[in-house]
């Protein structure tokens, strides 16, 4: 019998599999496909202070072994998330959920965090300083250690919930940024967000995305994500959530081996809504195949 329980920043999960923000809505939509309580938890759609329509269309472009997206943090704003989305979620999901927060200033990050801190049922705040598809915020905070640390300190000052900082791979040294966040008080880190990319329509000679560039996700980025998770897990003492191109139970096992405490699954949910359910069902078999009886014994690269 395989024990898949993991402790993420002081909260126990039944298993390490977590749908990533932006690929699972606010949860209740996916509950139409299966009982989402099978999940360890999930990170809900990136939420900002004010409602956002997002970027103009087209926002999605396919490419070999991956997907480019430039959705631009479309969401109804934190007040409607609290008044409308969370009550619907509570009807179908009975575990702590991870709230993903985005912002365009320190004040916005802290205000959204302050409001969500009061909500029962939210277990963690995942602070997105890594979105490549917005201007004037998002990734700009995640490319500089000092800015990343400033966001971390500001959010930690207004919440009692564990704070997980979501890091961008679009940097030359992700370890220095990870360590800056840890020193500023982060309880955990999640990485990687998407890699900045683009494609052209050869007929029009224009970019396929209205935003010109977008974030690349999918199996193509998995080796890069794995390398960065390994590097960061070696350098910090706080939990690391690994994500980026994860699409199978074997991928989850590799992420755990690289040092991740838990693993997020992103674009695979867009291809197959039952991806996480199938991964959770398959994971014990894959672990047994390699002689593992507990998730915590898989990690050899981290602490």
For residues 47 and 91, what is the distance between their CA atoms, to the nearest angstrom?
20
Nearest to 280 by CA among 249, 244, 246: 249
CB within 8 A of 203, min separation 6: which ones? none
Tell me the Ramachandran region of residue 67: left when phi exceeds 0, alpha when psi lies from -120 to 50, beta otherwise: beta
For residues 78 and 81, what is the distance between their CA atoms, to the nearest angstrom?
5
Q: Which candidate in 9, 131, 181, 276 is catalytic?
A: 131
The reply to whether 181 belongs to the active site is no
Nearest to 53 by CA among 34, 72, 32, 27: 72
By DSSP bridging, strand 163-166 and strand 6-8 are unpaired
Note if the bond before 265 is cis, omega within 30 degrees: no
DSSP H helices, the chain, are 78-80, 86-90, 106-117, 139-142, 145-156, 174-183, 222-235, 249-258, 268-271, 275-289
Catalytic residues: 131
């Amino acid at each position: 019998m395989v024990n898949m329980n993991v402790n993420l920043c002081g909260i126990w999960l039944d298993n390490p599999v977590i749908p990533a923000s932006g690929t699972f809505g606010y949860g209740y939509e996916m509950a139409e496909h299966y009982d989402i309580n099978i999940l360890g938890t999930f990170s809900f759609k990136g939420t900002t202070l004010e409602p956002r329509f997002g970027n103009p269309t087209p926002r999605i472009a396919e490419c070999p072994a991956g997907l480019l997206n430039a959705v631009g943090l479309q969401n109804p704003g934190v007040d409607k998330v609290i008044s409308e989305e969370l009550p619907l979620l509570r009807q179908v999901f009975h575990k702590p959920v991870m709230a993903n927060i985005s912002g365009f200033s320190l004040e916005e990050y802290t205000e959204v965090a302050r409001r969500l801190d009061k909500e029962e049922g939210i277990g963690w705040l995942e602070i997105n300083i890594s979105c490549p598809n917005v201007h004037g915020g998002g990734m700009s905070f995640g490319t500089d250690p000092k800015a990343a640390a400033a966001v971390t300190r500001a959010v930690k000052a207004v919440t009692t919930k564990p704070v997980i900082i979501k890091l961008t791979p679009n940097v030359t040294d992700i370890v220095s940024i990870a360590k800056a966040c840890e020193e500023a008080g982060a309880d955990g880190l999640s990485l990687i967000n998407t890699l900045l990319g683009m494609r052209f329509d050869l007929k029009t000679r224009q970019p396929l995305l209205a935003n010109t560039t977008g974030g690349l996700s999918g199996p193509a980025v998995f080796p890069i994500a794995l390398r960065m998770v390994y590097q960061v897990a070696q350098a910090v003492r706080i939990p690391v959530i690994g994500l980026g191109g994860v699409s199978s139970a074997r991928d989850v096992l590799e992420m755990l081996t690289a040092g991740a405490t838990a693993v997020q699954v992103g674009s695979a949910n867009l291809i197959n809504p039952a991806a996480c359910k199938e991964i959770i069902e398959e994971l014990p078999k894959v672990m047994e195949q390699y002689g593992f009886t507990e998730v915590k014994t898989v990690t050899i690269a981290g602490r």
